[in-house]
Amino acid sequence: MAPKGKPARLRTGKIPIEVLESTVFRMTGARSRDLVAPPRAGLDFAAVRLGSGFVVVSADPITGISEDIGRYAMKVSANDVATSGNRPQFAVSVILLPEGSSVSDVRRVARQMHVSAAESGIAIVGGHTEVTPGLKNPIVVVTVFSFVDRFVTAGDARDGDVILMTKTAGLEGTSELARERRLSGVLPAAVLRKARDLIKQIDVTEEAVVAFHTGKVHAMHDCTEGGVLGAVFEMSLASNLGFRLDETAVPVSWVTRTICRELSVDPLRLIGSGSLLISVPREGQEEVEKVLRKGCRVTPIGEFKKGTRTILMKDGSERVVKEAPEDELWRMLSRSSSRRNRL
C-alpha cells in the first residue's frame, strides 16, 4: 500500500482495469450516436457507424522490444481488427526512435512494417516518424481500420458458450523470452531458434475470418498481455459473465514449456499474440472447429457462464480469478531491469 498522501505506483504493462474505468473510460470527449462499440475494458476495437456499414478501428503500441518491432506493431493492431471477423484494410503508423538513431534504423523499421502490411493486405496511408529526446528504446504505434458490413466484439459472449483457442499459448512471449541472455548456453541453440521463430505465427486474421464466416461465432479476442488467462478474463468482463477455464486443456507447445520452465514463467499468463479465443454456442462448436482445423490447431479450453471466474487446476481444485493477471513478460523484463540497476 502506498504511504498516506502519496498516489500508488502503477506496475509495468497495461493499466489495471479498475484504474481505466475510473479515469480513461470516463474521459472520452464528445458523445456520438454513431459510436456503436465505445471504449470499455476487454474490447479489442471501436466501431463507428458509417452509412449502411461500420468502421472498426484499433491502435496498439509496441514498447518492450526493438528487434522486428515494425512487424510486431503491424500484426498486433491488425489482429485486433481481425477479431471483428473482418480483414484489416488500412493503417496509420507512429515511429518514435531514440536519439542517435540512423537513417538505416528508420529504413529497417519502415521495411518491417511494409512487408508485414503487404502480407496482410493492409495499405499504410500515413503517420509520423521522429527521433524523440529522452527515449531509451524505439516505440511504434500502429492504428489499423477497416470498413465492414457486420462484426462481433469480445463483449458478445453468451452464457453456456464454449471457449475455443487456436494454436498454442504464449507464442509472442516465448519468442521474446528466447532472446534472454541467460538462456544462451543453458538451452540448445536449436530450441532457442525454434522459440524465436514462433513470431511467424502471430497473425490471427485467417482463423478469425474463417470462423466468423460460419455464422456461429458470438465473440472473439486475441491473447495479448496477460496471455490466455488475461484474454479469457477480459472477454468475461466485457460480456458480463463468469468463466470456467480448464488449465490442463490449454495447449502449450513443448518449446514454450521448456523456456517457461527454465525461467519459472506461467505460460497461461504469458503474452500470446497469435492465439485467438472464440466464443461459440455448443451447437456450433463442431462446425467452427472443422473449418479451423483446415488451417490451424483449435482446442476447447473452457466455457463462459454466469457467476464466478474460475480455473480448474491440474490437481483438480478450482481457483477463483479476481483480477486480470500481470503479464509474465513484463514481470521478467522488470526483474531483469532491477538486476541491471543493482549492478
Instruction: Determine, yes or no, domain membership for 7.
Output: no
Q: Which residue has the higher pLDDT, 181 or 278?
A: 278
Question: Among 148, 175, 194, which residue terminates a domain?
Answer: 148
Could you tell me which of 180, 144, 141 has the C-alpha nearest to residue 270? 180
One domain, residues 173 and 315: yes
Report if residue 10 sits inside a domain: no
321 with 288, same domain: the answer is yes
Mark whether 185 and 302 lie in a shared domain. yes
Using 50, 70 and 90 to split pLDDT, how confident is the model at 156? very high
Looking at the structure, tell me whether residues 197 and 88 fall in a common domain: no
Position 67 scores a pLDDT of 78
**What pLDDT shows up at residue 160?**
98
Angle between helices 189-196 and 254-263 (to 10 degrees): 110
- The C-alpha cell at 52 is 449502411
Q: What is the pLDDT of residue 212?
A: 98
Q: How confident is the model at residue 280 (pLDDT cuts 50, 70, 90)?
A: very high
What is the per-residue burial (b if ≥16 Cβ within 10 Å, else e) of 271-309?
A: bbbbbbbbbbeeebbeebbeebeeebebbbbbbbbeeeb
Q: Give the model's pLDDT for residue 335.
A: 61
Does residue 141 sit in the same domain as residue 213? no
Please report whether residue 5 resides in a domain: no
Enumerate residues 6+ apart whose C-beta is below 8 A from 299.
164, 165, 249, 250, 251
Least confident of 8-12, 246-250, 267-271: 8-12
Sheet strands (E) in the chain: 35-37, 46-50, 53-62, 90-98, 123-132, 139-148, 162-166, 219-222, 242-246, 276-280, 298-305, 309-312, 318-320
Prediction pTM value: 0.91
For the chain, what is the mean pLDDT?
Answer: 91
Q: What angle do CA 54, 28, 324 make, to 5 degrees?
A: 90
Higher pLDDT, 98 or 339: 98
| Residue 212, domain CATH | 3.90.650.10
The total number of structural domains that make up the chain: 2
Q: Do 200 and 311 lie in a common domain?
A: yes
In a domain, 205, yes or no: yes
Asked if residue 179 and residue 143 are part of one domain, the reply reads no
**Lowest mean per-residue pLDDT among 34-48, 91-105, 131-145, 173-187:** 173-187
Q: How far apart are CA 164 and CA 109, in angstroms?
A: 34
What is the per-residue pLDDT for 144? 98
pLDDT at 186 over 90: no
269 and 198 co-located in one domain: yes
Confidence tier at 20 by pLDDT (50, 70, 90): confident
Last residue of a domain, one of 148, 181, 208: 148
First to last CA, the chain: 27
Distance in angstroms (rounded) separating the CA atoms of residues 224 and 21: 20
Question: Are β-strands 123-132 and 90-98 bridged in parallel, bridged antiparallel, or unpaired?
Answer: parallel
Q: Inform me whether the pLDDT recorded for 118 exceeds 80.
A: yes
Is residue 209 predicted with pLDDT exceeding 60?
yes
Q: Is residue 180 situated within a structural domain?
A: yes
290 to each of 105, 179, 188, 294, how far by Cα in Å?
44, 36, 36, 7
**Structural domain containing residue 260:** 162-329
- For residue 180, what pLDDT is reported? 81
Is the model's pLDDT at 40 over the cut of 90? Answer: no
